[in-house]
């Protein structure tokens, strides 16, 4: 028997309103369906055939992680953002929900749960429905050093890009 606990119930009224204005319940329902039936069955039942056949195992794992985090109510505020996923996996998940990006702003040197990185604040429009979702995704800097990551030494760029 499925529990009647919903993590959304733990959010404040203000946070719940943010979710309502961001088409959260639609996105959460799609995420939960993916988690329940898996990528192959999901693709066969999806109008656009997402996630695409041939999607790498790594991206599928990231899609699953995004879906788990959305099911927990994450991704819709900077205090409760999606994290620990690759950008390609996040975009693949949003494409699977039939959303495409319309705007993106990045806040560098952002602190989230004791880690430093970049916070992407992205607006997505649904391809069919007249709805918009604003998503927050945190990408930790590998070395945790904001100054060095965001303002790298020119010699590092030369080595990285073989200038």
Averaged in consecutive runs of 10 residues, what is the pLDDT profile of the chain (163 residues)? 54 60 83 96 95 95 97 92 95 96 94 94 92 93 70 50 39
Does this model's pTM top 0.75? My answer is yes
| Strand extents, DSSP E, the chain | 99-112, 115-126, 132-140
């Amino acid at each position: 028997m499925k529990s009647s606990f919903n993590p959304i119930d733990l959010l404040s009224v203000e946070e719940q309103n943010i979710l309502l204005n961001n088409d959260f319940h639609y996105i959460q329902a799609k995420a939960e369906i993916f988690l329940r039936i898996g990528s192959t069955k999901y693709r066969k039942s999806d109008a656009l055939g997402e996630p695409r056949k041939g999607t790498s195992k790594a991206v599928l794992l990231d899609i699953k992680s995004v879906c788990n985090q959305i099911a927990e109510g994450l991704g819709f505020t900077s205090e409760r953002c999606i994290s620990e996923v690759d950008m390609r996996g996040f975009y693949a998940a949003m494409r699977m929900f039939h959303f495409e990006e319309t705007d993106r702003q990045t806040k560098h040197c952002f602190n989230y749960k004791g880690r430093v990185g970049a916070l992407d604040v992205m607006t997505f429009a649904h391809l069919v429905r007249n709805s918009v979702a604003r998503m927050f995704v945190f990408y930790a800097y590998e070395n945790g050093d904001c100054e060095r990551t965001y303002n790298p030494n020119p010699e590092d760029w030369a080595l990285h890009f073989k200038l």
